[in-house]
Structure 1
Amino acid sequence: SDRDLANTVEKGEIARAALAYVPVMAATLILDAGSTTARLAEILPHDRQLTVFTHAVPVASRLAEQPHVELHLLPGRVRRRTLAAVGVDTVQALQRIRADVAFIGTNGISASHGLSTPDHEEAATKSALISAAERVVVLCDSSKIGVDRTMQFAKLSDIDVLITDAQITDGQRAEIESAGVEVVIA
């Protein structure tokens, strides 16, 4: 898709940097929809047992045959644009889950509006993904920093780590870090 092709090199580097946040022991992960999280799914380590929850069909298809992954595909209506399940069923399923780490994508991130997306159902689902995790790692290339979309799904204080590329400005980085977020340059 076009989304998959945009900033391809950066997204691959961001996914590789995210591996540092996969716990060394057996762990439960949540993987959000998106091209960067799909890349992360492809390169998850094979040396540990992982339980992975996702609402994203492309992420699930990359993990379905991995022997070291116990895969849980969350229910809901699949949006054609994102190939991810959204809606009440998705949110309710997430309310019963506790994960060690959630790897989240976003359409926009800013100091004033936090993390945001254009779609209200997507926002509700992403908010539930974040609430289900002990630690939240956001994967996004710098083109999304300073961008506000219609629906906020998290405040900066709701996330722990932002992994992005070197095009982030010093000012953007300082604003995000001042909210208590660790900023990692892939």
Structure 2
Amino acid sequence: MAETSYLIGLGSNRYRGGPPRRIVAAAIDTLVAHDLSIIASSSIVETPPLGPGHRNYANAAILVETRLAPGELLALCKTVEAQFGRRGGKRWGDRSLDLDLLLWSGGCWAGPALTLPHPALAKRKFVLGPLAEIAPDWRHPITGLTIRQHYHHVQRNMPVDRSPNHP
């Protein structure tokens, strides 16, 4: 497989091995150690929890290149999450590390445990902010809007027309 680009979201809000900002930075270093080429990395921002979480999150995004297929990269991300103490089970809870595959240069992709683009991407300000910093002109393969445009919409609580014919 040729080199493929992915946008990955990172988040942490549990103090396991250090503060969440340090966990996010260490996770990026760990991904590099697994032969992912980091092309761009956003700043790390603090955001309130989504759902019943109790602590603020440290969130960031990275643009990577790899020869891994989407399912293979997902497996790697799950392995890295486990290295940082993430346990399966509880949804919407506090997390030591959360890695989400958000977009890839291949457009749309669906497997048993992964859908690209991430189904909630266009609604999540805490994801779109870091993405807009590193890949503002990347187009969402379903809406046709850029990351910058999606971020503009969520900042203003504007609905996004998800039809493929949207300008």
TM-score by length of 2: 0.36
Please identify which structure carries the higher helix content.
1
- Which structure has the highest strand share of the two? 1
Choose between structure 1 and 2 for higher RCO, CA contacts under 8 A separated by at least 6 residues.
2
